[in-house]
Amino acid sequence: MSLNKIEQARGLRVRSPQDLAAGIFMILLAALALFLARDLPLGTLRQIGPGMLPKSFAVICAGLGVMLALTSLVYKGEQLQGFSWRGVIFVLGGAVLFGLTIRGFDIGPLKVPQLGLVVSGPIVVLVAGSAATDLRWKELIIFAIVMTTFCALLFKYALGLPIPLAPWLLGI
Amino acid sequence: MDVFANLALGFATVWKIVWWAPGFLQGAVSLPIPINILLCFVGCLVGTLIGVLPGVGPIATIAMLLPITFGLDPVGALIMLAGIYYGAQYGGSTTAILVNIPGEATSVVTTLDGHQMAKQGRAGVALGVAALGSFFAGSVATIVIAALGAPLTKLALLFGPAEYFSLMVMGLCFAVVLARGSILKAFCMIMLGLLLSTVGTDLETGQERMTFGFPPLADGIDFAVLAMGVFGFAEVLRNLENPETRDVVKTKIGKLLPSLSEIKQCINPVLRGTGVGAILGILPGNGAVLGPFASYTIEKKIAADPSRFGKGAIEGVAGPESANNAGAQTAFIPLLTLGIPPNAVMALMVGAMTIHGIIPGPQVMTKNPDLFWGMIASMWIGNLMLLVINLPLVGLWVKLLQVPYRLMFPAILIFCCIGIYSVNNQPVDVAFTAMFGLFGYILIKLGFEPAPMLLGFVLGRLMEEKLRQALIISRGSFMTFLERPISAGLLLVAVIVLVIALLPAMSKKRDEVFTE
């Protein structure tokens, strides 16, 4: 809405795809919240029930979403930019792999033993690091080893956090 | 004077000595460690570092370092986190002056004249003036906090649930108005934050709300998970897409200390900047961001020759930098006295306090006086340290600016992952954080600025609690918020602020301020 000049409106058309998408996104989130909260009792004003605030907030969110979507038809605004999946997949994937390997997991047929920081640390650095467009493998591998050592010393020893290092190898 | 006795307690807390017997020496030697001073120093150093590095903000850093503070006592932990916060304000100006990118959102104004000065070979003077002005402002603001702390806490004790609720509504209205970008979108973010805060077990009935029947969500969305996902991971994704070109000033930095005539030129801007910044900083809803803009505008208006501004006017560095630092410090006032965070960073401090079992609010001062006054005293000491760290180490910071992002972000990620895992020792939290990272990335793509969401999220639970209490007391009548004078006054201010911001003339001006 900001920074935009009102175009001479001749019929309604999408003038700000980003705002329209944002509005729809808000409406979808609100709908999801309303769906999840459908069984929660509203209660009365005197004794507010667990559903009162979630539902009211969701309704306001939906209202704001509608307003955003409507303004996108009036005010000129930004285009919607594409996602760069490379970053999303490698960076977030690296983090998820860290979560899966640090203490091991057991989902159906898949079983990963508790690998600990010694393995999970390099995994997250290497996988996430591959998201960079100016990637240099040698540098990244050295960096992964250095960072893991540093983090092990800092978190495990200096700060005494109970993070497994390598239970399968060192027993800690 | 009470203030002095209290400050004495604060300084005593800061100087606390812990005897440390290194394990590997089998207790043969024990060394005296001034633990809190050390933590303050570490905080300031880390803060300056992240302030200098563009693309790493204080929100992400404090979220990342929250788990590190688990092993510390609460006083030390908060002293360190506070140090990171105001250290980042100092560091941000270094980047603004030398590289022409604001390392911090609040140092945008400094780029205007600071970088011009650097181009003219006066980078050192600009850095010196910024540091000295910030130190002065920080010292004054510390005194303001000490002086206002006690009376405001007394005032807070008069607050009932209705007043608290209205105060938070006002805070959120300010946050909407002062957010960057569209007001409507900022409003969306606040409401989304409030909505997210209702996930989890209902406090009164014990019913699970919107948890998908998923046990880890029963306690609600973890604050650290949300903050690190949206500000750690999503920021990395955003930065990977927009590689910055960093043109570090090639000319010599030159002498750091300003000459006598330059100091004379700066005294008044620094004084005005400090005043403006300190007052705006107290406002709920991130008034501190306005300080530098306001100060710059004032200096330009009253200057004999306004055309010098934008071409390396020293007043254009001294005023806004002082305002910035003063505002950053006084932003602690609403948090420490009322327990209401005025911005996203302070919202993180609430998280930090809660993790350490301290409920922010007026009772902090009576129940944990050492924490309250220790933090205040540490701020002054921290400001002094920053003056010492910043000026001689400028060369080092310039070197750090050359660390490529391709190495910076894997480091951020491993820290985030270990940090998140350590909060509850739950690997599933890391996956959750990644999910919120994606969520934050979508928000950024849709043009939302996520900072107000964090504020809404933190205030949400408190607001719900106070709303319920107020309505029980008033037997279900909403009029209670208007019948009680303080509450009505706060709501009135909230409405006025919103109306003013929505007036066409003002919203145009607001756009100018936030895009400059």
Structure confidence by residue, pLDDT tens digits, A137-151? 899 999 999 999 998
Residue ranges of chain B whose pLDDT lies below 70? 1, 20-31, 55, 103-105, 243-253, 285, 504-516
What is the DSSP-derived secondary structure letter of residue A142?
A: H
Q: Do A48 and B468 touch (CB under 8 A)?
A: yes
Q: Which residue has the tokens 């004379």?
A: B264
- The whole-angstrom distance between B488's CA and the closest CA on chain A is 19
From A33, A48, A98, residue closest to B195, measured CB to CB: A33
Closest CA in chain B for residue A36: B210
Neighbours of A74 (CB within 10 A): 16
Task: Determine contact, residues A91/B232, Cβ cutoff 8 Å.
Answer: no
Task: Determine contact, residues B136/B459, Cβ cutoff 8 Å.
Answer: no
- 0.90 surpassed by pTM: no
How much helix, strand and coil, in percent to the nearest 5, is found in chain A? 55, 5, 40
How many residues appear in chain A? 172
Q: Do A2 and B202 touch (CB under 8 A)?
A: no
Q: Which residue has the tokens 């992964």?
A: A144
Task: Determine contact, residues B293/B509, Cβ cutoff 8 Å.
Answer: no
> Residue B146 corresponds to which amino acid?
A
The confidence band for A6, taking pLDDT boundaries of 50, 70 and 90, is: very low
Structure confidence by residue, pLDDT tens digits, B399-449? 777 778 888 888 888 888 888 888 778 888 888 899 999 999 999 889 888
Structure confidence by residue, pLDDT tens digits, B312-361? 788 888 888 899 888 888 888 888 888 888 888 888 888 888 878 888 87
Q: Which residue has the tokens 């285009």?
A: A79
Cα dihedral sign, B58-B64-B66-B69: negative
Task: Determine contact, residues B163/B482, Cβ cutoff 8 Å.
Answer: no
Structure confidence by residue, pLDDT tens digits, A83-128? 888 888 999 999 998 888 888 777 767 777 788 888 888 999 999 9
Reduce the DSSP state of residue A48 to 3 states and report it.
strand
Cα(B270)–Cα(B50) distance, rounded to whole angstroms?
A: 25
**pLDDT at residue A66 in the model:** 94
A53 in contact with B, Cβ within 8 Å: yes
**A interface mutation test: which of B176, B190, B415, B421 has the most A CBs within 10 A?**
B421
**pLDDT at residue A2 in the model:** 43
> Residue B181 corresponds to which amino acid?
G
Q: Does an H or E element contain B97, and which?
A: helix B74-99
Reduce the DSSP state of residue B32 to 3 states and report it.
strand
Cα(B299)–Cα(B306) distance, rounded to whole angstroms?
A: 8
From B185, B241, B428, residue closest to A22, measured CB to CB: B185
Neighbours of B424 (CB within 10 A): 15
Cα(B505)–Cα(B511) distance, rounded to whole angstroms?
A: 10
Q: Which residue has the tokens 């391709």?
A: B406
Complex prediction ipTM: 0.89
Task: Determine contact, residues B441/A109, Cβ cutoff 8 Å.
Answer: no
**Residue A4: is its pLDDT beyond 60?**
no
Reduce the DSSP state of residue B263 to 3 states and report it.
helix
Q: Which residue has the tokens 């979808």?
A: A28
Using only the alpha carbons of chain A, give its radius of gyration: 25
The A residues from 115 to 144 touching B (CB cutoff 8 Å) are 117, 120-121, 124-126, 128-129, 131-136, 139-140, 143-144
A79 in contact with B, Cβ within 8 Å: no
> Residue B161 corresponds to which amino acid?
P
A103 in contact with B, Cβ within 8 Å: yes
Residues of B in contact with A51 (CB under 8 A): 209
Percent of chain A surpassing pLDDT 70: 92
B233 in contact with A, Cβ within 8 Å: yes
Q: Which residue has the tokens 């911090």?
A: B104
| Per-residue CA distances from B422 to A122, A161, B225, B426 (Å) | 18, 7, 11, 7
